[in-house]
Amino acid sequence: MDTNAGIYLIVGILAVVLIIGAMKSRAEWIINFMLRGVLGMMSIYFLNIFLGDVVPGMGIGYNPITFLTTGILGFPGLVVLYGINFYMLL
């Protein structure tokens, strides 16, 4: 099995597990997703204000990708976004 096929297999299995879980409690999942997405965007806003003074260029943009990342992953997604941005600054 080549590396890409293994990655696609893992992502596919994770997607199936998420879909099964979403079917069980769809309304709860959607509310949770929206709440995490909105709180994530608010966190990005305030962190951009704080980090803009401390580290120039460390701000994260407001777009659908950042909303989806924070909505799906929550706080770890926020850390991932800032981690990627920090890595790109180096």
Residue 84 counted as domain residue = yes
Report yes or no on 31 lying in a domain.
yes
Would 43 be classed as within a structural domain? Answer: yes
Number of structural domains the chain divides into: 1
- pLDDT of 1: 55
Supply the range of the domain harboring residue 78.
26-89
Residue 74 lies inside a defined structural domain of this protein: yes
pLDDT tens track for 9-63: 888 888 888 877 767 777 787 888 899 999 999 999 999 998 888 888 888 889 9
In a domain, 14, yes or no: no
* Confidence bin at 2 (pLDDT 50/70/90): low
Q: SS3 letters for the chain? A: CCHHHHHHHHHHHHHHHHHHHHHHCHHHHHHHHHHHHHHHHHHHHHHHHHHHHHCCCCCCCCCHHHHHHHHHHCHHHHHHHHHHHHHHHC
Residue 7 maps to a domain: no
The reply to whether 75 falls in a domain is yes
Q: Do the domain assignments include residue 11?
A: no
